[in-house]
Chain A
Amino acid sequence: MKLVKKILLYEVHNTIRSRWVIFYTFFFFLVGYALFTFSGEVSKAYISLMNIVLIIIPLISVIFGSIYFYNSREFIEMMLSQPIDRKSLFLGIFLGVAIPLSAGFALGFSIPFLLFGKVTEQLTGFLLLLLLGMLLTFIFIALSFLISVKQDDKSKGLGLAILIWLILAVVYDGIVVMIIYFFQDYPLENTMIILSATNPIDLGRILFLMKFDIAALMGYTGAVFQRFFGSSLGMIISISCLLIWVLLPFVLSSRFFNKKDF
């Protein structure tokens, strides 16, 4: 763990000095600030913020993570020639990217709420969105590392990263709608819950909508989701699913990293 701490410290230094992270923090600040300035209603601002969190965070995290990993390749080689084990180095680099990026989001996201005094108005919503944003950062950086460890070609890796984002953020919903359309005569509640759990972006969206009591807009499926995700057990299960989404790609990529030739 000592080695991880040492690596982490320097990686964090490197990441927070990057223009990306500064721009990213400022972006969330600006969006929140504009939403609260132009729309007085907190719930409307929340829905807009949710959409931005669910689309922008995965996109930026997956691209930033891939570029960072590819650019660190020679440095990783240099570090691996030092007395250090691969697992510590990998964990140090992962946390060194994920912590500053999620902290940048948390900062940029929270300041407008504090400035406009909106934190307490719907505290669960605020905390849930904050948690979701940070979890999605970790998930998509873990996915980007998995791609970068397996794919040596930078342009192919970046293409794959964007493709995965496109599938999870856009195409997946289309597939779900198609399944509902073709199998509308069958009971689909459990299938829908499973389908949602296998996409972290969907999982985040439903989790947030449930907490915001607008599930009624989603008709019968909404009622099923409400029953599942609305309960505290459903909440625990869905957050656990998101944590699995962080751990699974991380553990897999760490294993590949361990065997990789540099």
Chain B
Amino acid sequence: MSDFDPMRDSTHVRSYRSPSRRALLKAGVAAAATAPFLMRIDEAIAQGITPKRGGTLTSLLTPEPPVLMIGVNAQGPTLTAVSKIFQPLFTYTPTLDFEPVLAKSWTISDDKKVYTFHLQENVKFHDGQPMTADDVIFSAMKFWMTLSLRARIIFARIEKAEAPDPHTVVFTLKEPFAPFLYGFGGTGFMIVPKHLYDVADLRNNPNNAKPVGTGPFKFVEWQRGSFIRLRRNEEYWKPNQPYLDEIVYRIVPDSQSRALALQSGQVQLAGGNDIEPFDLPRFQAQPNLSVTLKGWEYYGPLAWIDINKRVKPLDDARVRRAMSMALDRNFILQKLWFGSGKVATGPLCETTKFYDASVKLPPFDLAAANKLLDEAGHKPDASGVRFTIRHLPLPYGEVWTRLSEYFRASMQKIGINVTMETTDAGSHSARMAKWDYETSINYIYQVGDANIGMEQYFTSENIKNVAFNNVGGYSNPRVDELLAKSRYAIDPVERQKLLSEFQRIAVDDMPYIYLLQMSFPTYYAKRLNNTVTTAMGIADDFDDVFLA
């Protein structure tokens, strides 16, 4: 995948960047070096790529969002559209460092308990009201606390939130919490206007029908089943930006029609679920289009096989390791996902903070897998079967069904019989929550930091009857200890040490069979510039996107 348009990165234009990185380096959170491909706007202009005003960007949304409001709905298509209307305090670079948006800069106290954000001063909501510290505090303590489970967990650590002046917000934590900043960035935390949202029923707020944010584009109209139209915010707080006049999201239910629209240039941008995986090779060969797999670093979806560790013989780590060794991850990547993504190497994605590249999965080796099962005492019977397990396929579409079929066929090669129990999405999560499964498939979002997206699947305090948790009953006191320590550790070197050990144990114990670091290709016309520049991919504000 080396031909994924390196040009895009070198033409990357981002102006407001330096304070945050300095602040973070000082704070010691971001140990990574400055991303080398970031370029100043004047450098870009020097290379002859002048941003051009005007034009309408036509894109796709699949499936049609149920509602255009952050917090109320967190599905991909919704985020893609609302991220142009609402903005976060900061966004993430592809290496998951922080890049300011509505916060100009921020500082962290030496005891890592006081976070002070300095806000942009000339920001107005689309209805003309100024955006102030009050809106930020309201968004955190009320809006997101009510609507987002993840935000609730992180913001519950806030002891007090104060606004010493209209452009400064101070959060004081009860105790240090290393990944605290990851609760704020990107689509997980955007600023909503307090004067429109300070009501009891946030989900059914009439303002949800006409979202009002600070973003570079204003909501204009939404013809259900047909299109969503956004128009340039003339009073946007960055001078002369955004460059585009309009963004139109077309709703085209049929995948082949979408592919045709992209191919013919009627649509200049497609991502997420818009294009079927098997069309990837075809579009990579298309001269007027670029394809990138970047822009999923923040979400970092990791696909794995979830195992109920209470069920014999799946309680035996040797059995789980043998199962992992019987799966050819390259086949899964190349033949099922047509090369979109990377094979997994452990519980973390490469882009997630504190990923340890030295941790490796045992290689694909059927003979070794068989030997390991023999050693574990599971001898095959006369018909070559060692034991039978039930499998709950992930009911999210065909590629997942096929993955389950691949799993079954691979298990058969090492004498494990797999019975499929097809369900729908509701029953799938209900059965996972009731621990009524033996193996299943799932993918989880890492959202930047090892202590945020992954933790709940590994700590024994999260063995609950709630889906998207440690429903498999994995319990290792050392893992609990490592994750708890790294959560509160202040020194990044110390955190890395703790999380590296966690990753090694997570591979040795193999509570989940890690399969794939997924990424969904973004397809765009070559004349569309700055399409994917951050870790948010196309769920970014697009204030620097322009049509050449």
Real binding pair: no
Q: Which residues of A contact B (CB under 8 A)?
A: none
